[in-house]
Chain A
């Protein structure tokens, strides 16, 4: 097929080429046309569950979910038509009216707001606005489409918060049932710990036979937390404490096993407060394990060594760098000179950088003049 014959679809009046198997959403995203999504999780099969990504397709009787509709030659699509906008508004209003979405996009009635806020306070033991305020896809869309939750009567939250594990708080009152966490768990990590449970208004994301995560197959990789577009799944240690605008992400490589996951360290006041996986980057494409995501407390631990120590009469005392380094240099020099270079052994580390390993082996070979250098690759 020559280029001029390549199949195209028309989106908002412009035509775009596509490949077999592309969805309308794929084509739109490839061409920087923003179609909002909530349940769509890249790298997992689209479910079309939330329907926020609906578009108007010429000739179709209903609006179609763009994430699950394949592009077809000569299709004509509108992504922000009046019908589409009205449908999205209604979906958002329904979501906002059910549960504790206290992000101050609720509307202008002070009394109603106060009553609502008091109810949330009762459920969540906090008078603050939603813990993910400012980092919530639902809030972003409510703002974009200028809707609030008042249109429908508020429905009570059916299930209490679960916070009996050390890592993840499950707040069912803020869950919009988009199913991203279910896909993250079953289709990305394939840990198969959580799924949809119950039906209709009772529906709930459950672990095992509706047990706390800690008593299920959950391994606390936190893929679900990273996938959650709202405040239903939040890291326990920072919930209500760390707000997204207070942190700076720094990209680096995880320090645990040899996979070399790409991570962001989220830093506030010189402290790593949260870790997330880097999307779109090999080798992990956002996935992490429990150690990588939740095992960062050691960095700022008060037990960190902060001064050189010298042992005198069987006890360590603090010393200056000059004292410690001169002592080490003198002692190694005298051992090398009186017992020969092979009387000293060096263990470098599988935990430190390439640059540091290089310098330490160079030190062993060029300064001590020994090849007795090793590390714990074998252990």
Chain B
């Protein structure tokens, strides 16, 4: 059975006036364990809504989501989330932020220390372990958020446009770092983006979504070799994927 299964998920938001707005029409989704899947689409296509339903932060109007065979109703540590605006705790150091979830779940102190240390190392912030988020750059903050989300060894990592607020160079370095982490951890990743290149570069599968109402319109399997290097964006295959997705998004 697939790691993440969403069946017949729809989300209607009630509006101040008039009919409820359908953010997401009946949608099915299945993600295999260890896969890197991108949800790609314009604003308002319901990609973040779908992610939040799987994360347990938004309640779906219809349908069910199972993660690792378990029906989910609430947010939980089996689904790590990373948000666009980092949402770090400013009163905690880098180490404190990464350790936060472990402490909430009452892990033994020694183990908390070791796991957090390893993750901080993994995201390359060992020298900043005792700094507060205030002094970190956007890219560094997002690395802390990724380490924090990975600390509880989630079955799936849900990422909502995590690099959307970063500049182009930092974003490209973060994409490489994320692929590197994913290659080591083999955590299932569901990654929301509106950037076509980002989706093709990162993913095994790109699910293209469309608006009015939000739904999945196409499922691309990206057959580019791994590990992927930055040059891959210049390849003929890459260009072909981009052309197809672009024409889908334009219609």
A and B co-occur in one complex: no
Give chain B's interface residues, CB within 8 Å of chain A. none
Give chain A's interface residues, CB within 8 Å of chain B. none
